[in-house]
């Protein structure tokens, strides 16, 4: 297992946000977390990337216990997140933002080729490479966030709401790119509102509800599960 989350509990102040969740992600998989707003999906992501302290439980990455590891060291281990709300550095240009993704890397030539790869995936970004991140449209920012995370050449890519605020066409594109990235060998943990898309792309998925995992299974199984359809796919 690349990532093993075991019985994780996490609090905001005195409010418990996660109540003992366990998630595993195997190498090469796309695993989706779905659930309503506030169910704890983003919190889980932040715990994995090291932005939130864990109350109890453990997180293991590639066999190593990283529960209390600093966030930046996790990046060096190979975990990179495209955060919810994109987290673009508004005052930096597109190029600088992408360079930030490669912050921990020193292999200049490989970085250059990765940059080409990202620009290949997102031609829009190439057009706007000198533009400040804050002036991009929502969709462009989302591309930038995903591209930036790719620049870290992560073993595990965490994507938090990559389709948020995007037009259906773009959503379609983004998910195709996600699949492509995955096929190129990157393991992906995906948090998504758009359950339809997420489930159809994911190998496996977990359903979160108020800080607990209520269901898990393969993407296709959950996609056809009546309860999931009822609760998260909108139209019954």
Partner 1 sequence: MKGTFVDFDALFGHLGQHTVDGLSKGSIYALVALGYTLVYGVLRLINFAHSEVFMIGTFTVVGTWSVLGATDSPAIGTVILLLLAGLVAAAAASGATAVAVERIAYRRLRRMNAPPLIFLITAIGLSLVLSEAFGLWQGRLVKGMPTIVERSVLFTIGNTEVTNIQAITVVAALIMMFGLDTFINRTRYGRGVRAVAQNPDTAALMGVNKDRVIALIFLLGGLLAGAAALLYCLRYGNTRFNVGFVLGLKAFTAAVLGGIGNLRGALLGGLLLGIVEVYAATLTSSNWEDVAAFVVLVVVLLFRPTGLLGESLGRARA
Partner 2 sequence: MTETLREINDRRQRLTAGIGERVRALPRWQKVLGLLAFVGFLYYLPYLGIPGLTWFRTDYIPQGNNWAGVLFSCAIYVLIAIGLNIVVGLAGLLDLGYVGFYAIGAYSVALFGSTQSPVVEALQNRFGLSEQWAVSWAICIPLAITFTMISGVILGWPTLRLRGDYLAIVTLGFGEIIRIVARNSSWTGGPQGIAAIPGPEGAPSADNTIFGLIDPKPWYWLALTVVIVMVFAVRRLEHSRVGRAWLAIREDEDAAAVMGVPGFKFKLWAFAMGAALGGLSGFLFASRNAFIEPTQFNVYLSILFVAAVVAGGAGNIPGVAIGAFLLAYLPERFRDFSEYRTLAFGLALVLVMLLRPQGLIPSRRRARELADRRKEAPANV
Partner 3 sequence: MSDPEDLVSLAVSEQPRRDDLLVVDHVTLRFGGVVALDDVSFEVRRGEILGLIGPNGAGKTTCFNAMTGVYRPTSGEVRFDGERVSGRKPHQINRMGIARTFQNIRLFPEMTALENVMVGTDSQHFTSVPGALFRLYRKRAKPEELPVVDSDNGLVRAWQQTRLAFAKVFGISRHTLEERAGEQKGMALLRFVGIADRANDLARNLPYGYQRRLEIARALATEPKLLCLDEPAAGFNPAEKEQLLKLIRDIRDKGYTVLLIEHDMRLVMGVTDRIVVLEFGKKIAEGPPAEVRENPKVIAAYLGVPADAS
- Indicate the residue among 113 and 224 with the shorter CB distance to partner 3: 224
- Indicate the residue among 29 and 114 with the shorter CB distance to partner 3: 29
Task: Tell me the closest approach of the beta carbon of residue 143 to partner 1, in angstroms.
Answer: 15
- Indicate the residue among 117 and 229 with the shorter CB distance to partner 1: 117
Q: Any idea which residue has 């773009």 for tokens? A: 170
- Indicate the residue among 51 and 164 with the shorter CB distance to partner 2: 51
Select from 161, 187, 205, 206 the one that contacts partner 3 (CB under 8 A).
161
Residues near 18 by Cβ (< 8 Å), separated by ≥ 6? 8, 9, 10, 40, 43, 44, 47, 211
Task: Tell me the closest approach of the beta carbon of residue 140 to partner 3, in angstroms.
Answer: 10
1 binds, among partner 3, partner 1, partner 2, none (CB under 5 to 8 A by kind): none
Distance CA 214, CA 223 (A): 15
Report yes or no: 134 and 91 within 8 Å, Cβ to Cβ.
Answer: yes
Q: Is 71 in the site for partner 2 (CB under 8 A)?
A: yes
Pair of tokens at residue 166: 């995007």
- Indicate the residue among 120 and 168 with the shorter CB distance to partner 3: 168
54 binds, among partner 2, partner 1, partner 3, none (CB under 5 to 8 A by kind): partner 2
210 binds, among partner 3, partner 2, partner 1, none (CB under 5 to 8 A by kind): partner 3
Report yes or no: 199 and 220 within 8 Å, Cβ to Cβ.
Answer: yes
| DSSP H stretches of helix in 63-186 | 71-77, 94-101, 108-121, 123-127, 138-151, 168-183
Residues 57-96 within binding reach of partner 1 (CB under 8 A): 70-73, 75-76, 80-81, 83, 87-92, 96
Give φ, ψ of 150 to 5 degrees.
-65, -30
């Amino acid at each position: 297992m690349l990532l093993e989350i075991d019985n994780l509990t996490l609090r905001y102040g005195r409010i418990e946000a996660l109540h003992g969740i366990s998630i595993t992600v195997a190498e090469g998989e796309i695993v989706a977390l779905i659930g309503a707003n506030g169910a704890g999906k983003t919190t889980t992501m932040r715990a994995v990337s090291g932005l939130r302290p864990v109350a109890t439980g453990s997180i293991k990455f590639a066999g190593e216990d990283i529960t209390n590891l600093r966030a930046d060291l996790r990046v060096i281990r190979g975990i990179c997140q495209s955060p919810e709300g994109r987290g673009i550095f508004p005052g930096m240009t597109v190029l600088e933002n992408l360079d930030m993704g490669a912050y921990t890397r020193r292999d200049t030539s490989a970085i250059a080729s990765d940059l080409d790869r990202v620009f290949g995936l997102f031609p829009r970004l190439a057009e706007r490479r000198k533009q400040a991140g804050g002036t991009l449209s929502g969709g462009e920012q989302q591309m930038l966030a995903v591209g930036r995370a790719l620049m870290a050449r992560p073993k595990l890519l965490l994507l938090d709401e990559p389709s948020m605020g995007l037009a259906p066409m773009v959503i379609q594109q983004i998910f195709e790119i996600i699949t492509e990235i995955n096929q190129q060998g990157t393991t992906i943990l995906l948090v998504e509102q758009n359950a339809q898309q997420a489930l159809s792309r994911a190998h496996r998925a977990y359903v979160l509800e108020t800080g607990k995992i209520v269901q898990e299974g393969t993407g296709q199984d959950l996609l056809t599960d009546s309860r999931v359809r009822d609760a998260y796919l909108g139209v019954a």
